Structure 1
């Protein structure tokens, strides 16, 4: 799992389907088992790690139109670097899900666990669990680079 991975939503009619790409979600970066960046964003200057602490997920779920509009997307894309963090905000651990143990990214400051299932050396299926979700959110990760130290 170590390295930079590009993320891609897998549409399943989940409440957050379609929310990540317009805000510039690029993927995830795993520097080591104890150093993970769960939200790598892309703007006109390149990629950066967004601090998940500042993502108002409950607010987004309650009022998706509040942010998911032209003004909200422009604000996030232009102000995101102000709430970036070079410090890791998650860690990788083996976690059992559905009777199978696999790698999982455990967020430090949010009730979120991203579970990963190996497809091949360059692809992983991701499943995001959040305390407030009635079912998981699915995404695909595609390997970009072997190891990337994130600058902030």
Structure 2
């Protein structure tokens, strides 16, 4: 099964996913460069039951926009009228992107301006990314990370 086929299976799963299976999948994916990540992305969660998913639903999270290394809109949200905006309140600002080593590979990671949170990315393909939210308050009660995906728009 290709990485894209596996991703589609995980994305469309009706049941709760085992975070350990996502750890294994993330490990086989290739790093993404700063240049490859630039653009607009629509996001979604990989269903593990992590409480951060509810927080994102609560703010109407839509995706992320990477304009440059120092200009990143990490919380692009949609209001009740369908208008997209950058939520700078929920995470105390926006973000930058940097090459960071995580789990043995150097890949592009997003560093929030106002909170101790880093998001590590790997690519499924040129138009699909998997992200892991990392930081002091990132783990759930079972010690698991929040996994999500981005698809280029």
Same fold, TM-score > 0.5, yes or no: yes
Report if aligned partners of 2:42, 2:64 keep a CA contact under 8 Å in 1.
Answer: yes
Equivalent residues in 2 for 1:11-22, closer than 5 Å: 11-22=47-58
Residues 45 and 147, structure 2, Cα contact 8 Å, conserved in 1: yes
Q: Is the 8 A contact 1:126 1:138 kept in 2?
A: yes
Give every structure 1 segment of 4 or more consecutive aligned residues whose post-TM-superposition deviation is greater than 6 Å: none
Choose which of 89, 98, 107 in structure 1 pairs with 2:103.
98
CA contact (8 A) 1:9 1:18 kept: no
TM-score (norm. length: structure 2): 0.68
How many residue pairs match? The answer is 112
Residues 45 and 11 of structure 1, relative CA distance in 2, 3 Å threshold: closer
Q: Is the 8 A contact 2:117 2:138 kept in 1?
A: no
Match status 1:141 vs 2:146:
no
1:21 Cα offset (Å): 2.4
What root-mean-square deviation, in Å, do the aligned CA atoms of Structure 1 and Structure 2 show? 1.8
Q: What is the alpha-carbon distance in structure 2 between the residues aligned to residue 5 and residue 129 of structure 1?
A: 20
Give the aligned partner of residue 41 of structure 2. 5
1:24 aligns with 2:33: no
| Structure 2 gaps, min length 5 | 1-36
Which of 1 and 2 has higher RCO (CA within 8 Å, sep 6+)?
Answer: 1
Aligned to 1:122: 127
Residue 32 (structure 2) aligns with: none
What's the CA shift string for 1:35-78, capped at 9, x where partnerless?
Answer: 10110001115101010xx327xxxxxxxxxxxxxxxxxxxxxx
What is residue 116 of structure 2 aligned with on the other side?
A: 111
User: Could you tell me how far apart the structure 1 residues matched to 2:150 and 2:54 are?
Assistant: 16
Q: Which runs of 5+ in 1 are unaligned?
A: 57-82, 145-152
